[in-house]
Structure formats: C-alpha cells, structure tokens
Structure 1
Amino acid sequence: MPAEIARREDFVTADDGFISVEVLTGPNWSVYSLDKKGALFVEMPKPISSYSIEKCPFIYPHLFEDSIRVAEIDLKTYFKFGDELESDYKPPKCLFFTNTARSASTLFGSMLHHEGHSTVISEHPALSTIAIKFCQGYLSEKVRKNF
C-alpha cells in the first residue's frame, strides 16, 4: 500500500491499448489520482458501492491492493467527461464522502450509511490528493477553476 498520497507512480503499467472513455462510467471504475498530466482510474473486482463504509472503513487501501486495471485520461478530457456525466447521472438520495483522518469520520459515516438510501465512501484518495495539491499551489488557477 502506498505510504504517501495516491499518485500514478504507485502502479507499474504496460500499455495494453485504448478503451472508450465511456467504459470508465462502469460501476467498478473509480478515480484513483489526479495530477497535471491527467486522471488515473482503477477498475475494481466489485462495484465501488460495495466498498461502502459499513464493509470497508477506508477505501484507499482497496483501490490500490484490489485493483485489476488502470486507465488514464488527460485533464481536458477528464473535465469534459465530468461535464457530460453531470447531465445524465442520477445520484443516490444521499452520498457522503469523507477524507478527514482521525476525526471520528468512520463513526459518523457509519451512522449516516443506510443501504438503499444513503451511501458513504470513506477516505477516498482522490479527495486528499486534490486538497493537498490545492493547498500546495501545485495546480494552476485555470485547472483549479475546473475542479
């Protein structure tokens, strides 16, 4: 498991060709990390919803250890892709992401998670990565506005 924030260097990859960006909307795919080069996605053996807080208190080790495949897209495509998804996506009634370690977020998230009504995903690495990169000024103002 990576000791630092999630990043593309966590994986040793080999080019296996191209897949359609629409494949990344599948229930088993999740963003893993974001940087100036683009977004890194991982494919999981089960749908991301099965990694809710009641089954795994922290999703980040699973995204690294259990991933099957890795896919990458540039930031321009990522933002365009996100805009297109917003118009078609119907989220659950309540979706709660936490990324504040040692704050009783696991207890709080467990109380909020109710199967079929609300879904809680705990400590997703993409949220931490974005927060750290914003604070450190790693991302340009133009990129920040897109987030």
Structure 2
Amino acid sequence: MRKNKGIGIAVWILGLVLANILLFCLEKGMTITFWITTVFVWIAFVSSLFFLLFVWKKSDRVEEHFLHIPAITVSYVYITLQIPVCIIFALGSRTIPYKVAIIINFVVFVVAWGVALSSFVGNDYIRKVNNRQKEHHTEL
C-alpha cells in the first residue's frame, strides 16, 4: 500500500502544479475572483490529500481499504471538477463578479464534501452485514 500512496501523492503534486500553472498563465488580471478561485483550488487539493493520507492510513485491513475507496474517489472527482472551474474563472476573472465565484466554488465544495462524508455513513451498516454474513457462514 505504501507504493500506491506514493503514486497518489505524486499525482497530487503534479495536479497541483498543473492547476497553478493554468491559473497563473490564463489569468486576465489579479482580481479578487482570481484569488477566490486560487483558494478553492488549494482547498480541493488539500482535502484530497487529507482523504488520501488520513482516511487511507486509518484502515488496516483490505475490507477497510475497500470501504474508503468511495471517499478518495470523490475527492479526486472534486479536483477534476475544480480544475475546469478554475480555468473558467481565470479566463473571466475581469468580467465575472467575485460573488459568482464564491457561490459556484462553494457549491462545488459543499457537494463534494457532502458526497465524500456520506460515503462513510454506510460503512457501519456494511460492516454489520459483513460480520453477520461471516458468522452465518461459520455456523454452516
């Protein structure tokens, strides 16, 4: 698993560098819209790193890794959605009002974190059903 974590961190670093290069090369002015978008890009990448390092580290068994895959996948989908949003706001940073940037970025952030955290809600139920099935099969 250490190799997979290393690959994940390498992908994370490359994605962060790519997003920052895109942001700073495509910007049409260092406006507040540009900086709001930059902050939300960093939030996306830091939250992804959080899920990769802490949630994945918390799980010891293969079953636990399997249960945490949805949260990590959602965090990478969040990054994948945030990069086009940052490109749009970087290109239109002079014309797009900062309130629109805050609203759209915040909605994407809340939806991504809501889906990622809701993936943990079903884990207890899945563990309970899994344990019940294991007990049932050992009795047979």
* TM-score bin (small chain): under 0.3
Q: Which has the higher contact order (CA 8 A, sep 6+)?
A: 2
Normalized per residue, the structure richer in strand is 1
Structure with greater Cα Rg: 2
Normalized per residue, the structure richer in helix is 2
User: How high is the TM-score relative to the length of structure 2?
Assistant: 0.24
